[in-house]
Structure 1
Amino acid sequence: MHFELPLGAFIAATIVLIPLPWHWRARNVPTLSIIGWLFLSNLTFGINSIIWADNVLDVATIWCDIVTKLQIGANLGLPMCCLCLCIHLERIASVREARTTFEQKRWRMVFDLSMCWGLPMIYMALHYVVQGHRFDIVQYFGCRPSTYVSLPAVFLVWVPPLTAAVLTFIYASIALHHFFRRRIIFTRHLQNSNSGLTASRYFRLMAMAVVQMFWTIIVTSLNMWFTCRSGLRPWTGWADVHYNFSRIGMFPALLIPEFALRWTFILWWMLPATSVIFVAFFAFGHDAAREYRACVSWIKGTIFRTKASQSIKLDLPSPSFPHPPSIPKFNAYSATPNPFIENKVDLPFSQSPTASYDPSSFRSSTSSLPTSTSSVPSPKRSSVEV
């Protein structure tokens, strides 16, 4: 088992997220797309190297269908991201747009999303034309896309990334030409363009795009040479190329020639190396150092506020509540005198629970009651019969 494969892939997937916060604030779609493609590719490479570390069994068919298409899309997605970045930098360096408006930013975002994600999806769909069978499983590396090595495969699989790399070089050259013509007022022009770029960021992005362009040409050329080293196969027709399409190729390490296995390791490590190259341009600059200081300050402030709140809670006295006022018990003999009770009044019915109710006696009894409060005599102390 090669434990360095998943370790290297997961480390590469983690470090590409370092420049994510400041590129997210800048809404830089090409660099965010580069981060997305590199993260997904390294993550899938690491998972594959764990699942198929010592076997070539078909244990995750749907996973391999998805992963192999993502690997194909990344071959074009990364060069297209660099191309969009250089187009944006060339537009800023030129004088065609003195100031970027909100409408122009929105349309540029739509264009970048279409180039960085839309075209790779079309590229993934077109790969089916030269896909001889479903996919291959290689020990140590997991599932890999299959390609019917022929002349149509050269134009559909390897020419588009090389074309994007060449166009990136052209736009980068034009952007540098604009810079040398206006190098004196270049910084002021960046401020007036309302692009959120400084001269340091501009050249860092330009250098990253150019280096990635050369690296893409090297990786694509090596991959094309390694795949086509045995020669091109004749295109015998759609039905013959896609015959038995559901077949899954399985390649144990013992059956792979040593030369082919060595080159497979080299090409596999090209992806983590691409991630390291990308991070090297953004993880050690002034902007990165400022972000690191801000992150450390935020962590310290969070820890300090947490400790301070805990200490305040510990120092607070326990709350004390006053005793509720005592309510005196009711005493019928010490209550306010009632004239109807203090003066013996004959009730119209007996207090016995078995007595009957007589309305006539009630009328005769109540007729003797006083009709006005003014004529009520002053109460006198008397015994109450119960």
Structure 2
Amino acid sequence: MTDPTYPAFPVITLIGFVAVLIPLPWHFQAWNSGTCLYMIWTALSSLVLFVNSVIWQDNAENVAPIWCDISSRFMVGFAVALPAASLCINRRLYLLTSVQSVTITREDKRRAVITDLCIGLGIPVIQMLLPPHPDTALGHRFNIYEGIGCYPFTFNTTLAYPLVVVWPLVIGLISSGYCFLTLRTFLQRRVDFSSITSANSALTVNRYFRLMAIAMTDVVITVPISAVGIYLGLTASVVSPWRGWADAHFDYSKVELVPAVLWRANRLNEVSLELTRWSTPFSAFVFFIFFGFALEARKHYRMMYVVALKAIAHVLPAPLSAAVTRCVRLFH
């Protein structure tokens, strides 16, 4: 069955992969660990989805089992990675807004980065480490959907919800709480806000509001989608009773191959799968909208453009190389 989103999806996903990484260097310099985690997770997910959409564009064969083991486990972690990164951003903004002293030391920054890594990296990694073990809620190895590629399969039993399913919602709700506290504290201390940002050379007023906007956007998306997913899992499909590990993981090595004509025949299943995979390029472009046009990002675009032109000039004939070199000078 022809994929109506091909080649649009891999092209858009690849562009999102590049776009979300462009502002990364100056966020590293600014010690914005939560934002860096958001960019890195989104970029990695975009790359995984790009590869999957190309390899399994017109088939559902198990042609790359090792890649599927890795990518399906990564997707389990990515389900909580963006909410966790948004939690890091909202938590950092709240601490900046509510801090009593405007002096932020290097030690404070180091502790903040360690905490962010524990949340934004530690939680997803723990989730990714669950699938290889038989004591988890994953019913079999993975599924392969034609047009989508490898996909983790979670056995719909009561144990799956506390172990895997509820975590994006839980993290999203905690992040919502920090978001509310940040807004409330900001309104209470808006007179002192300029002194707070001036004490942090890496944080400007515009950057603060862009960070708040991206974190709030992710919360607004994560909470309702996670809640609806849990509701559908509990009501639209059968929740199997827990009969022990042997029953839940019978034939665990099985790989289910699903042609597009089958998974698209179920409208609810189709919407769920498409919504899940399109959320990644959407997140990449939302981030780019908020940060891709900032002054720092434009400087990096110019640097990358100059580097690319110089590389091209080296392989072109002399007349064309001279013309490209003149273009390079215009950007200096």
- Asked if these proteins are the same fold (TM beyond 0.5), I'd say yes
Aligned residues: 308
Match of 1:220 in 2: 226
Tell me, in whole angstroms, the C-alpha distance in 1 between the residues paired with 2:64 and 2:309: 44
Q: How does 1:1-386 map to 2 (within 5 A)?
A: 1=2, 2-127=6-131, 128=133, 129-192=136-199, 194=200, 196-225=202-231, 227-228=233-234, 229-256=236-263, 257-259=265-267, 260-289=269-298, 291-292=300-301
TM-aligned CA distance change 1:188 to 1:290, over 3 Å: farther
Output one character per residue of 1:329-360: Cα deviation in whole Å (capped at 9) or x when no partner. xxxxxxxxxxxxxxxxxxxxxxxxxxxxxxxx
Counterpart code for 1:250: L
Tell me, in whole angstroms, the C-alpha distance in 1 between the residues paired with 2:16 and 2:261: 28
The unaligned stretches of length 5 or more in structure 1 are 312-386
Tell me, in whole angstroms, the C-alpha distance in 2 between the residues paired with 1:17 and 1:93: 27
Counterpart code for 1:180: L
Output one character per residue of 1:86-144: Cα deviation in whole Å (capped at 9) or x when no partner. 11111111134431112222122111111111121112223551011100011100110
Output one character per residue of 1:198-239: Cα deviation in whole Å (capped at 9) or x when no partner. 111111101110111111123323444555521311111111
Counterpart code for 1:202: Y
**Does structure 2 retain, via aligned residues, the 8 Å contact 1:219–1:267?**
no
Tell me, in whole angstroms, the C-alpha distance in 2 between the residues paired with 1:76 and 1:62: 23
SS at structure 2 position matched to 1:136: strand
Tell me, in whole angstroms, the C-alpha distance in 2 between the residues paired with 1:243 and 1:88: 44
Match of 1:383 in 2: none
Tell me, in whole angstroms, the C-alpha distance in 2 between the residues paired with 1:34 and 1:47: 20
How well do the aligned residues superpose, as a CA RMSD in angstroms? 2.7
**Does structure 2 retain, via aligned residues, the 8 Å contact 1:33–1:81?**
yes
Tell me, in whole angstroms, the C-alpha distance in 2 between the residues paired with 1:12 and 1:226: 30
TM-aligned CA distance change 1:10 to 1:29, over 3 Å: same
Tell me, in whole angstroms, the C-alpha distance in 2 between the residues paired with 1:289 and 1:134: 44
Q: Which of the two has greater helix per residue?
A: 2
Q: Which has the larger radius of gyration?
A: 1
Shift of residue 65 of structure 1?
0.6
Tell me, in whole angstroms, the C-alpha distance in 1 between the residues paired with 2:224 and 2:282: 12
Shift of residue 165 of structure 1?
0.9
**Does structure 2 retain, via aligned residues, the 8 Å contact 1:91–1:97?**
no
Counterpart code for 1:204: R
**Does structure 1 retain, via aligned residues, the 8 Å contact 2:22–2:300?**
no
Percent of counterpart pairs with the same letter? Answer: 34
**Does structure 2 retain, via aligned residues, the 8 Å contact 1:100–1:195?**
no
TM-aligned CA distance change 1:231 to 1:11, over 3 Å: same
The unaligned stretches of length 5 or more in structure 2 are 314-320, 327-332
Tell me, in whole angstroms, the C-alpha distance in 1 between the residues paired with 2:258 and 2:233: 15
Counterpart code for 1:284: F
Shift of residue 269 of structure 1?
1.3
Whose RCO is larger (CA < 8 A, sep 6+)? 2
Tell me, in whole angstroms, the C-alpha distance in 1 between the residues paired with 2:87 and 2:245: 33
Counterpart code for 1:155: P
Tell me, in whole angstroms, the C-alpha distance in 1 between the residues paired with 2:27 and 2:147: 34
Output one character per residue of 1:8-64: Cα deviation in whole Å (capped at 9) or x when no partner. 221221211122122122121111111111111111111111111111111111111
Output one character per residue of 1:218-269: Cα deviation in whole Å (capped at 9) or x when no partner. 3323444555521311111111101111111111122332413344223321
